[in-house]
Amino acid sequence: MDTISQLMDLARVQARLDKRCLLAGATVMDVPAYGDAEAAFHFLLDGECTLEAGGKNYALKPGDAVLLPSSPPHRIRTAGAGRAQGVVETHGDFFDTIRSDSAGDGVIDLFCGHYTFGSRAGVLLVRSLPDPLVVSFGEGGDMVRTMSGLMRQEALAGGPGTSAILSSICTALLAMVLRQSTGRLAETPLWTAVDDKRIALVIDTVLRDPGADWSIERLAGIAALARATFLRRFVKNTGTTVGAFLTNVRMMAAADLLADRELTVAAVASKVGYHSESAFARAFQEAVGTTPGRFRRTP
């Protein structure tokens, strides 16, 4: 199984399309925060708008997808003529439709929803990504035309299976976002998507066996690179260090294992490559923000 498929399987992702936004003129739409195990997303099919999140503005164009791992409150703003206006929401069987208060120019077509992660490993996975993560697939690409066509067709027609179809399309969108590499479509390097085949081999190998006795030298050997060259290329291609990546993958595996109440914390530590329960607990606390015991007791 390839890296992205492994991650999607580990995360146990469920996608839900919440809204279709057809906004015109100068419209402001506020989007509330989602839950701890959820990540908001937007997929812009037509028009241009601005995402305001975390005190920064992100200009979006057709074919842009946005993932917000921490799902903070954020805002969508269009820049058409006229005074700023609010939105009117119409409830539907499969999703809600949001329109501007009054007609205006420059209509945008924006699909908005969220991902829910059925495993705690999935939550840690999404937290390891840039926030927000903006990926541009381009307006004229075959993928965008196919996905937008399917989404619009289901949005207009509806019927048996529509919810499942829309959910599957949105899940596919997440996989496509995760596999986009830096320098082509993503603004920030992603450790989930690496063009360098030697570095990709290392990532895939660690994901398959995070608890192995990994060292810099051993990983460099897998990549068939000198130690210093390996370290430089890893950071360049992933945006993170080897140590941070290894810890992140091990904590993802640990989060999943901690759901099994029959495993002691010491057993979990051993399975993810730690010889000492206390060393594992310190690493887990630093990475996740709580102890393994408290994490296990959290619903």
- The three-state DSSP-derived secondary structure of 204-271 is HHHHHCCCCCCCHHHHHHHHCCCHHHHHHHHHHHHCCCHHHHHHHHHHHHHHHHCCCCCCCHHHHHHH
Q: What are the tens digits of pLDDT across the range 133-167?
A: 988 887 666 777 788 888 888 888 878 889 999 99
Q: What are the tens digits of pLDDT across the range 257-288?
A: 998 889 999 999 999 999 999 999 999 999 88
Provide the CATH topology of domain 3-178.
Jelly Rolls (2.60.120)
* CA-angle at 288, arms to 282 and 290, nearest 5°: 65
Query: If you search the block for the tokens 């994490």, which residue do you land on?
Result: 295
Q: What are the tens digits of pLDDT across the range 85-112?
A: 778 888 888 899 998 877 666 689 999 9
Provide the CATH topology of domain 197-297.
Arc Repressor Mutant, subunit A (1.10.10)
% of residues, the chain, pLDDT over 90: 50
Please state, rounded to an integer, the average pLDDT across all residues of the chain: 88
- Delimit the domains of the chain by residue range: 3-178, 197-297
Task: Return the pLDDT at 179.
Answer: 83
Task: Return the pLDDT at 24.
Answer: 85
Task: Return the pLDDT at 185.
Answer: 46
* pTM reported for the whole predicted model: 0.84
